[in-house]
Structure 1
Amino acid sequence: MAQKPFALYAIFSVFFTFSLFSTTSSHSPVPEASNSIATTLVLDVKASLKQAHQILSVDPHTLRPFEQEEHVQSVDPKNSSSSGSFSLLLYPTDALVNTQHKDYKSLVLSRLERDKVRVKYINAKLDLDLINNEKKSMIRQESVSTPISSGRSIGTGGYVSRIGVGNPVKEFYMIMDTGSDINWLQCKPCYDCYKQKDPVFDPILSSSYKQVTCRSQLCKMLQGPSCMVGSCPYKVLYGDGSYTKGDFVTETVSFGNSGALRNIVLGCGHTNRGLWDGAAGLVGLGGGPLSLTSQIKASSFSYCLVDLNSVQSSSLEFNSERPSDSVTTPLLKNSQDRTFYYVGITGISVGGKLLSIPQSIFQLEESGNGGVIVDSGTVITRLRTEAYESLRDEFKKQAQQLPSTSGEALFDTCYDLSEETTVEVPTVSFHFSSGKSLTLPGNNILVPLDSTGKFCFAFAPMSSSLSIIGSLQQQGMRVSFDLVNSVIGFSPNKC
């Protein structure tokens, strides 16, 4: 019998809109700036501030309810692959809880603090992998979308999905993260658990719950030879000191109307520390063998990140076709780390002017150092200091008509647009190793720091050799990961 295809539709909130422009070059890997690329774009100041005002009043009860269907597909992570396309319902994490911030600026500053923690940890994880490429010790390192930064709820810049676990199905909000591999959720008995929106999962009530044994190949993938007898334990540490630990298990995971998958490996956490904005756990979309994408042997996945400050929606899709108008470039592999998704960047231009940045600044070295990753959990794009300063200086030069003001937090370049309705800003374009270019609109270049009109240049310097394309610069387009052909595509307005 033919397997029933999955049809998945997910919900995000819209943050900013992207536009894409493609150029080609037959003589040089770095495209020359041309008249086909716009030199300025319009930033709608009024619309951005309106969204900033409304974010603190997001009502979690407006989320689409979980729906269930009895169709179940069996998946053997060792030798079976899923067919057809499917997707997950997705929501911005801010929609889960009522924020405790007194104003929008407080929310933004909290997001930026979280962002610094994530970037610091990504660097630490990659440094660790260079030392120990095995990644099979009892204590594993992971990246996280929403690390703790205080005792109150913070904005994370991340996204969550409404996912069902067990049989009968219980639904949970779980964080979706391209920078993580291991899937996990809080489980009873809860020896030490943080507060989540949904009741904690009770494995005793699920007929499909099964512990992974120490002798299984799945446990060896996680532990190496350190686990000898009994059930397979796991422990995931995050960069801010938060963690989850418990039993490695297999369970049935459901996707609303799209059906369910059996034998998905995840961590059943009995001791969990950290503030996860009410989410029950995390789903890893990274490139490692234990991520959801690897377990279901997905040929591809794609998402469209929409505005964290709005109530609009979009989708996360698996095994669907890449839009025909996508600007594509190869996905690069880091021999020392399988989690992150790397792309080749050969240059950056501002207002159509190609910056004098050595290509080596963005190069992924054979040793595993350097390179550029595309990450859904990092909000603000980070560039190596030399590249950032060149970008910032040229932007300031071309934006001299904008009234400047003092920098703050991660941002050293800000403008007072409180008296403006719309303004023109110089474009910022990434040039890929494929010879194609991606041009960002004004809304993804300058972002509001507060709700009164202070906008800042939405990039930051990176002291390490790594660069990161953050979620803010991805928002408003469909980002497609072709895992079979190792290609990433960017397509506008496919949310």
Structure 2
Amino acid sequence: MAAAAMRAPTAVLLLAVLLPFAAAPSRAATLATSPSASTSTAAFQLHGDVYPTGHYYITMNIGDPAKPYFLDVDTGSDLTWLQCDAPCQSCNKVPHPLYRPAPKKLVPCADSLCTALHSGLGSGNRCPSPKQCDYRIKYTDSATSQGVLIADNFSLPLSKSSTVRPSLTFGCGYDQQVGKNGEKPAVTDGLLGLGRGSVSLLSQLKQQGITKNVLGHCLSTNGGGFLFFGDGIVPTSRVTWVPMARSTSGNYYSPGSGTLYFDKRSLGLKPMEVVFDSGSTYTYFTAQPYQAVVSALKGGLSKSLKQVPGDELPLCWKGQKAFKSVFDVKKEFKSLHLSFATGKNAVMEIPPENYLIVTKIGNVCLGILDATVAKLSFSIIGDITMLDQMVIYDNEKAQLGWVRGPCSRSAKSILSSIP
């Protein structure tokens, strides 16, 4: 998918063709241990970056025997899926050999997760055959994934050096249309759906009593970071918490409406609906906030910066010499702030390093884009704005939280620090 892609699905479901499988499905879970959901935390090392990769992803071991796959971390959609050989009708070039499903792993149409998936996509339960659950998801960057639901074992590293291998339901995608990317090789093998729906991996882990319905991620400015399921490493202090609001645009993680400030001054705008989405590389503001931010930024820049045609993003500037990092040019720009009325003193600071990138040729570009161009009716806080802060999605307490700090710790050190 495109580096600036938002992988939050629109409400689209079409029938897929019938796969040549005929065996009865099996969804039996196999656990190597029997952890307590109240204490278990699974942690993963993140790879990738905002620029130039445009993705943050983990390595997930799936199958029996387990094989590694790179999955794009996406809190903006529910379904986890792998490109798979079922056989494949249209697949990208991916980092690992395509996942090969066994007929006995098929999830039947009558399965509750199939029903929930179809319902969440805004169309009824439609399957060409009762033996399998077909799906087709369309994402906001025009990419699509079509396939069937499969249940197979996932290897999850837990605290206290234990491992669980639950059988989890995910998509076997045999027809991928990747929007603007054409035939460009994919960075990942598939997508890790961590949204609020019941088909989300996080919801399935909660249902099976493995971890609490809590996740967090810490994306490092230097690339990498960590992702965790469960509440074992959620800080007990300094976190800014906001109640989860019901998004008017879908089942997204939303802190409600935020009022935008530039350099601590009001921009005179109405509050805008905000969604947190790790599947979006960049941040998107709806039309009026976007134009107001662009005007405010341009008005405060020194003459040493010259606006140039965007080589990577729409709005870029050139300095007297090439910039090596955002910190070379940070002093030229001011911080933004988002204030959320639903939380007590809930303000998210967005300093220049959380909305700017420096390109390969040394220009600085605005990593906030116009949501209207992307046909979005709400604003998105994407990866660039979540850099170097732990963001926590607590479905148990229906709240979102964030706390600033370096994200360079290893997943292994995090797990070993849990008592």
Q: Same fold (TM over 0.5)?
A: yes
Q: How far apart are 1:83 and its partner, in Å?
A: 5.1
- Other-structure match for 1:252: 153
Distance in 2 of aligned mates of 1:441 and 1:336: 27
> Closer, same or farther in 2 for the Cα pair 1:394/1:232, shift >3 Å?
closer
> Match of 2:121?
none
What are the residue-to-residue correspondences of 1:229-244 with 2, within 5 Å? 229-239=130-140, 242-244=143-145
> Could you say what secondary structure the match of 2:148 adopts?
strand
Question: 1:74 touches 1:262 (CA, 8 Å); kept in 2?
Answer: no
Q: How far apart are 1:389 and its partner, in Å? A: 2.2
What's the TM-score once normalised by structure 1's chain length? 0.63
Note if 1:380 corresponds to 2:305: no
Q: What RMSD in Å do the two structures reach over aligned CA positions?
A: 3.0
Greater strand fraction, Structure 1 or Structure 2: 2
Assess, with a 3 A threshold, how the Cα gap between structure 1 residues 93 and 305 changes in structure 2: closer, same or farther. closer
What is the SS of the residue equivalent to 2:244? strand
SS at match of 1:396: helix
Alignment partners' CA distance in 2, 1:450 and 1:168: 41
Provide Cα deviations, 1:82-106, integer angstroms capped at 9, x if missing partner.
Answer: 7511122321179xxxxxxxxxxxx
Preserved contact between residue 219 and residue 225 of structure 2 (Cα < 8 Å): yes
Which runs of no fewer than 5 residues in structure 1 stay unpaired? Answer: 1-69, 95-107, 109-154, 363-370
1:481 and 2:393 matched? yes
Deviations 1:190-223 (A, max 9, x none): 332322211222334x9xx622122222322234
Q: Distance in 2 between matches of 1:456 and 1:336?
A: 29
2:194 aligned to which of 275, 279, 285: 285
Q: What is the SS of the residue equivalent to 1:406?
A: strand
State the SS of the aligned residue for 2:377: coil
Instruction: Give the corresponding residue for 2:47.
Output: 91
Aligned pair in 2 of structure 1 residues 331, 385: CA closer, same or farther (>3 Å)?
same
Residue number among 160, 171, 183 corresponding to 1:267 in the alignment: 171
Q: Which residue in 2 is equivalent to 1:459?
A: 368
| Alpha-carbon separation, structure 2, partners of 1:473 and 1:86 | 24
The reply on whether 1:217 has 2:91 as its aligned counterpart is: no
Q: Contact 2:258 / 2:274 at 8 angstroms: preserved in 1?
A: no
Greater relative CO, 1 or 2 (CA 8 Å, sep 6+): 1
Q: What is aligned with 2:73?
A: 176
Identify unmatched segments of 5+ residues in structure 2: 1-29, 119-123, 179-183, 207-211, 408-419
Cα distance in 2 for partners of 1:442, 1:241 equals: 30
**Percent of pairs with identical residues:** 24
TM-aligned CA deviation for residue 276 of structure 1: 6.1
Paired letter, 1:416: G
Deviations 1:251-278 (A, max 9, x none): 1111356523422111223334435624
1:188 to partner: Cα distance: 3.1
Q: Is the 8 A contact 2:214 2:393 kept in 1?
A: yes
The 5 A counterparts of 1:390-409 are 390-400=292-302, 402-408=304-310
Task: Provide the C-alpha distance between the structure 2 equivalents of 1:469 and 1:335, rounded to a whole number of angstroms.
Answer: 16
Query: Structure 1 460/93 Cα, relative in aligned 2: closer, same or farther at 3 Å?
Result: closer
SS in 2 for 1:180: coil
Residues 314/415 of structure 1: CA separation in 2 closer, same or farther (3 Å cut): same
Query: Which of residues 406, 409, 428 in structure 1 aligns to 2:336?
Result: 428
Question: 1:363-390 deviations in whole A, cap 9, x for unaligned?
Answer: xxxxxxxx21111122222212222222
CA distance in 1, matches of 2:49, 2:338: 28
**1:411 Cα deviation after fit:** 3.3
For 2:141 and 2:168, the matched residues in 1 are separated by 28
Distance in 2, matches of 1:266 and 1:156, equals: 25
Matches within 5 A, 1:43-58: none
| Distance across 2 between alignment mates of 1:443 and 1:225 | 45
Contact residue 246 and residue 256 of structure 2 kept, 8 A: no
Residue 9 (structure 1) aligns with: none
1:301 aligns with 2:204: no
> Structure 1 residues 171 and 379 mapped into 2: Cα distance closer, same or farther (>3 Å)?
closer
Q: Is the 8 A contact 2:79 2:170 kept in 1?
A: yes
**CA distance change for structure 1 residues 219 and 346 in 2, over 3 Å: closer, same or farther?**
closer
Q: CA deviation at 1:291?
A: 1.0
Partner of 1:418: 321
Single out whichever of 170-179 and 260-269 deviates more from structure 2. 260-269
1:305-361 deviation line (CA, Å, top 9, x unaligned):
123xx4x542101112432211222221126621x21123442222222221123xx
Equivalent position of 1:163 in the other structure: 60
1:315 is aligned to 2:226: yes
Aligned match for 1:197, one of 90, 95, 105: 95
